[in-house]
Amino acid sequence: MRALVTFVYLFLYTPIALVVLFSFNAGRNASEFTGFSTQWYGRALSNTFLMEALQNSLIIAFTSAALAAIFGTMAAIGLERLGPRTRAIFDGLFAAAIVVPGVVIGIATLVALVEVFGIVNPLIAAVWPGDQPPKFALGYGSIIAAHGLFTMALVTMIVKARIASLGRDIVEASSDLYATPWTTFRQIVLPQIMPSILAGFLLAFTFSFDDFIIAFFVAGSNTTLPIYVFASIRRGVTPEINAIATMVLIASLVLILIARFLMREKTTTN
């Protein structure tokens, strides 16, 4: 059993270790290590197209994660007020949103947006006074909406688990002391669930930043970092691509570790 587990871990992480190793390759051949050098990190960071794609990914990831944290928290609080049967239905729907393959979410979101744009754009053109009415199209908004809805389910499940672990006694004690529901939420509930909200935000940010499949369907003319990397490797894998992958890997691991730390702090506090 130990040998099997060791083989599985080697199979999973050896390719990642090779990508990190060859990102420090002095030569241009990504499959032949000719010496140690950090030149490809400098070239990657000086690539204007890469920096533009990185900026797009950061804007999209931060916005969609913020929306997911807000609406996911609201959904988690609302679910706790439902009856057991209704709550079980919504729990199943949120869980399904997490396990559904990204390609299905991407195609479904693309079809839905195209249908909505086909209805809304003619209505805007009919009432717009000018000759060039604005049009809804695929771009920043569509990626943020798709990522926000996808990651909202993740935030909801995390925050809901935290709310379920809270005792009702502190909320009831706050009500007995004549605190309003808003005061109870702001001073009692929100501080208790804030670590989970932050953890959900960081995980949502990581999922959005690293996503390629959903963004590929709904990005339109915009280019995110994963889309840029995919377009680049079609011309061949270079040490610059390995350097980009290594930097993204480190950033993702840092965010996941911070989220894990926040979740651990929450459990320890309990």
Tell me if 207 sits within 8 A of 62, measured CB to CB: no
Query: What does the DSSP 8-state code read for residue 25?
Result: B
> Does the residue 27 lie in any domain?
no
Q: How far is CA 223 from CA 22, 59, 103, 217, 244, in A?
A: 25, 12, 18, 11, 15
Assess if residue 3 is contained within a domain: no
What confidence score (pLDDT) does residue 67 get? 93
Q: Compute the average pLDDT of residues 19-27.
A: 79
Stated pTM of the model: 0.79
To the nearest 10 degrees (0 to 180), the angle between helices 84-99 and 48-79 is 160
Q: What pLDDT, in 10s, does the model give residues 136-171? A: 888 888 899 889 888 898 898 888 888 877 766 676
Q: What's the CATH number where 140 sits?
A: 1.10.3720.10
The answer to whether position 180 is within a domain reads yes
Residue 249 has a pLDDT of 83
Please state the domain count of the chain.
Answer: 1
Residue 68 is predicted with a pLDDT of 92
> If pLDDT is split at 50, 70 and 90, which confidence band does 90 have?
confident
The reported pLDDT for the residue numbered 2 is 82
Domain that residue 153 falls in: 48-269
Domain membership of residue 181 (yes or no) is yes
pLDDT at 63: 93
In a domain, 189, yes or no: yes
Q: Is 1 among the domain residues?
A: no
209 found inside a domain: yes
Of 29-43, 98-112, 126-140, 252-266, which one has max mean pLDDT? 98-112
Pick from 169, 166, 148, 161: nearest CA to 196: 161
- In the chain, % of residues over pLDDT 70: 92
Per the prediction, the chain carries an average pLDDT of 82
Asked, for residue 202, whether it belongs to a domain, the answer is yes
pLDDT value of position 30: 64
